Amino acid sequence: MSHNHNHDEEQERIIIPDENGEEHLFDILFTFDVEETGKSYMVVQPAESPEDDEEEAEVFGFRYEDVDGEFSLFPIETDEEWDIVEEMLNTFVDEEEL
């Protein structure tokens, strides 16, 4: 598995519409690819999330496809996929705490 995330770089952002079509701005925490399945995943948090360490930020995971710079997001539907995303999120959090 390979992953990319921003340590000191400017935060990448993405707009994701909700079920009502209302658009929300999210910070992309990191992306990663699972070589065994050929799928790519993205973990995001709302751009207006508090930076306070005492309060846990809400994060969301998606499977995504990038075709010529156009992102398509898909819900993560299987427990196996969630396990992979959760493992990568734990790794990301551990690296950020160093």
One digit per residue, the tens of pLDDT, for the chain of length 98 reads 555 554 445 789 999 999 999 999 999 999 999 998 899 999 999 998 666 555 677 899 999 998 898 889 999 999 999 999 999 998 888 877 76
- The backbone region for 69, taken as left when phi is positive above 0, alpha when psi lies in -120 to 50, beta otherwise, is left
Q: Is 24 helix (H, G, I), strand (E, B) or coil?
A: strand
- Kindly tell me the sign of the dihedral angle through the C-alpha atoms of 97, 49, 70, 40: positive
- The predicted model scores a pTM of 0.77
pLDDT value at position 44?
95
What DSSP string describes 65-86? EEETTEEEEE---SHHHHHHHH
Q: How far apart are CA 28 and CA 17, in angstroms?
A: 15
* 6-23 residue pLDDT tens: 444 578 999 999 999 999
